[in-house]
Chain A
Amino acid sequence: MADIAQDIPVVRQAPPPRSTRALGWLRVHLFSSVFNSILTLLAVGLLAAAVPPLVRWALIDAIWSAPNGQACHAGGACWAFIGEKMRFILFGRYPADQEWRPIAVVAIFIAMIAAACVRPLWGRRLAVVWFAGLSAAFLLMAGGLPGLRPVETGLWSGLPLTLILAVIAMLFGFPLGVLLALGRRSRLPAVRGICVGYIELVRGVPLITVLFMASLMLPLFLPAGVTIDKVLRAQVAFILFAAAYLAEVVRGGLQAIPKGQIEAADALGLSYLQRTRLIVLPQALAMVIPPLVNTFIGMFKDTSLVLIVSLFDLLGATEFALTDSNWQGFAVEADVFIAAIYWSFCFFMSRYSQLLEREFNRGKQR
């Protein structure tokens, strides 16, 4: 081998001349035709009109500390409002002297999500970690142990509530959705009928109606004095809703599995369970990662709808913070702040899904 390598003459060539330095790059990318030149100039003009006022508002004229809202109206953005209300926006009505508890819960959730993203950890150990993490988070939020004051769920708010609602909806909604998708393709008419009926019913009504039913109608049917926890009601609504949507996503994957795969599994003598677990689902789920994550991202943001049943998730707590008469008129600043939080979570989900997609579909890449 070494001989052959030596025989091939290596001709060292200089790289092609970089005639396209800055000017050349400009010509190729921005001014390649009259039309493109006009577009470029327009875009530059728009940026020139929009960016300086934005920078002036957000940075130069911004007020970074103020004793109250009235003193914060003079200049640009009032970031003092965020400083003042940060605690409330993030943790809402949770008792202020117990603040370390929601902080710990958010940390636990982020750690659990991070652990779930490391593929070598996947398996039974991860399930144990999640079970322990969720139990710890619940105990921390609700309290009741010695040394932990009980905090009723009505006071759970802000980022921890958003994370709890979204993560638990996905955690329980996903397996339920897979079962529904398999059931919808079942040969047994009763199973198929129930699954189709459930999926179509839940997908046929807006989430906001389900939440409304759960929070307004349900109490009227219960005997006087019996009330079901408000957070639990919303959580169940989210799980049921997520399941129906995820079922349709998973069904898309199931339908894309070539029939030959199933026949081959049957020919090998695998049972239905073995075939589904070993052949069908791994391929089907790998195929539907993008729409799955799409649904997850949608669900994460849909949790903000609990606002209408007066639970204060991240958005609800923000809107609530805006009603303080000492700090009136800072909706834009508050919205920018929580948009950044929502964006970070959603962007992370989207990037991670791209990574998974590449890894799982490596065999199909050209």
Chain B
Amino acid sequence: MIFQTRLWAAFAAVVATLCGLAAGQPAKAGPTLDKIKQAGMFSCGVPTGIPGFAQPDSQGVYSGFDVDICKALSAAIFGDPGKVKYVPLTAQQRFTALQSGEVDILSNNTTWTLTRDTDLGLNFGPVVFYDGQGFMVPNKLNVKSAKELNGATICVQPGTTTELNLADYFRANKMEYKPVVIEKIDEVYAAFFSGRCDVMTGDATGLAAQRIGRASNPDDYVVLPERISKEPLAPVVRHGDDQWHDIVDWIVFALIQGEESGITQANVDEMKKTEDPAIKRMLGVTPGMGKALGLEENWAYNAIKMVGNYGEIFERTLGMGSPMKFERGINGLWTKGGLMYAIPIR
């Protein structure tokens, strides 16, 4: 048995090395656009279920923010939002699935980091959602900002970056707090909703989901606007196909620009008649942009007409029009104090 154990360990080491090699050298896939046009569809790696981002309705139809990004891509490329094969992937599986060509793109709540961008052989599209650690408080405390939390009792999970970020934030702002440290995240939330602490801290999306999921009346709680850590979520493609990377970039930019220019699902047809040269270029009235990307000239028109602009997608899946009731906050347009800024389409 000892011999067999060693043999197994040696085998595992070889496998690990090979995987390292495989991960370092991106798969040499051909031009993705040709492949998916031929297949008439593309596969999109989405989460296995995160409320608001990728969730099934009772009929099993996927919906949510990540799903709508895939739909917008499909609408821009094929003129039909339904040409997507949704492949649910866990956090562990997703990069392998992209590297091995099982999916063409990840829209999977993936945080953009340096090592993922380089070592794993991936390319990130524009950030579609800025998540980050936040605070949730009961409404009755009448707190409007994290800066007012001096002296608060805070529920937190130990041994995570969450706990360290919390300590850093309070030290940097010269505030005091009393931590209530509980091992299991489920019990941390239970402690908060039963009133054992004033404040709950964690990823803002998680806080929002728990707020609607657990509170007997979600309106009794509010997620404060401050974010004390960075979790920029972006769609991901493989190294080795710049055209495909560009297409993903610009379709996302078009969604954001659509909101900025006031182009909505409802008025996009009227907007086509506008005199604004920037909008005419984007919607394909003045040709050129589509050709540069290798798409039809009405790519951006289709995406907005069929799925909506960035703001509409956000409101429908995560914002006030959804059960999640998420504030725009830093995910608002740059013109409104947020971080969403589209690169000029010209």
Contacts and interface: CB of A to CB of B under 8 A. Distances in A.
A225 B59 contact: no
Contacts of B218: 70
A329 B99 contact: no
Contacts of A67: none
Contacts of A92: 60
Given A219-B97, A225-B101, A322-B49, A200 B4 contact: yes
A310 B88 contact: yes
A219 B58 contact: no
A328 B211 CA distance: 10
B212 A325 contact: yes
B58 A85 contact: yes
A323 B18 contact: no
Nearest to A320: B49
A323 B49 contact: yes
Interface string B132-156: 0000000000000000000000000
B15 interface: yes
A94 interface: yes
Given A221-B18, A308-B90, A324 B101 contact: no
Interface in A51-94: 68-70, 73-74, 84-85, 87-88, 91-94
Contacts of A74: 216
Interface of A: 68-70, 73-74, 84-85, 87-88, 91-96, 152, 154, 197, 200-201, 204-205, 212-213, 215-217, 219-222, 224-225, 227, 308-310, 312, 316, 319-326, 328-329
A328 B178 CA distance: 30
B337 interface: no
B214 A329 contact: yes
7 contacts: A197-B4, A319-B49, A321-B56, A324-B56, A325-B51, A325-B52, A325-B324
Interface residues of B, number: 48
Interface in B3-47: 4-5, 8, 15, 18-19, 22-23, 27-29
Contact of B100 (A68, A96, A213, A224): A224
Contacts of B213: 328-329
A22 B101 CA distance: 73
B188 to A, nearest CB: 15
B57 A217 contact: no
B50 interface: yes
B59 A88 contact: yes
B8 A205 contact: yes
Contacts of B56: 88, 93, 320-321, 323-324
Given A70-B323, A85-B58, A308-B90, 20 more contacts: A84-B58, A88-B59, A92-B60, A93-B60, A96-B59, A217-B15, A219-B96, A219-B97, A220-B99, A221-B18, A222-B100, A224-B100, A225-B101, A309-B90, A309-B93, A310-B88, A321-B58, A323-B50, A324-B51, A325-B52
A136 to B, nearest CB: 23
B87 interface: yes
Nearest to B60: A93
Contacts of A200: 1, 4
B59 A310 contact: no
A88 B58 contact: yes
A219 B100 contact: yes
Interface in B82-133: 85, 87-90, 92-93, 96-97, 99-102
B309 to A, nearest CB: 21
A95 B82 CA distance: 14
Interface in B205-245: 209, 212-214, 216, 218
Interface string B141-185: 000000000000000000000000000000000000000000000
B55 interface: yes
A325 to B, nearest CB: 4
Contact of B55 (A217, A309, A323): A323
A145 to B, nearest CB: 22
A325 B49 contact: no
Contacts of B261: none
Contact of A328 (B64, B92, B212): B212
Contacts of B15: 213, 217
Interface string B45-75: 0001111101111111100100000000000
A197 B58 CA distance: 47
Contacts of A85: 58
B286 interface: no
B46 to A, nearest CB: 10
A214 B90 CA distance: 15
B268 to A, nearest CB: 27
Given A204-B5, A320-B56, A326 B87 contact: no
A6 B9 CA distance: 82
A310 B209 contact: no
A223 to B, nearest CB: 9
A230 to B, nearest CB: 9
B274 interface: no
Which 6 residue pairs are nearest across A and B when measured between Cβ atoms?
Answer: A328-B213, A323-B49, A219-B100, A325-B51, A329-B213, A224-B27
A219 B102 contact: yes
B267 interface: no
Given A93-B60, A224-B29, A308-B90, A204 B4 contact: yes
Given A227-B101, A328-B209, A216 B216 contact: no
A96 B58 CA distance: 9
Contacts of B48: 310, 316, 320
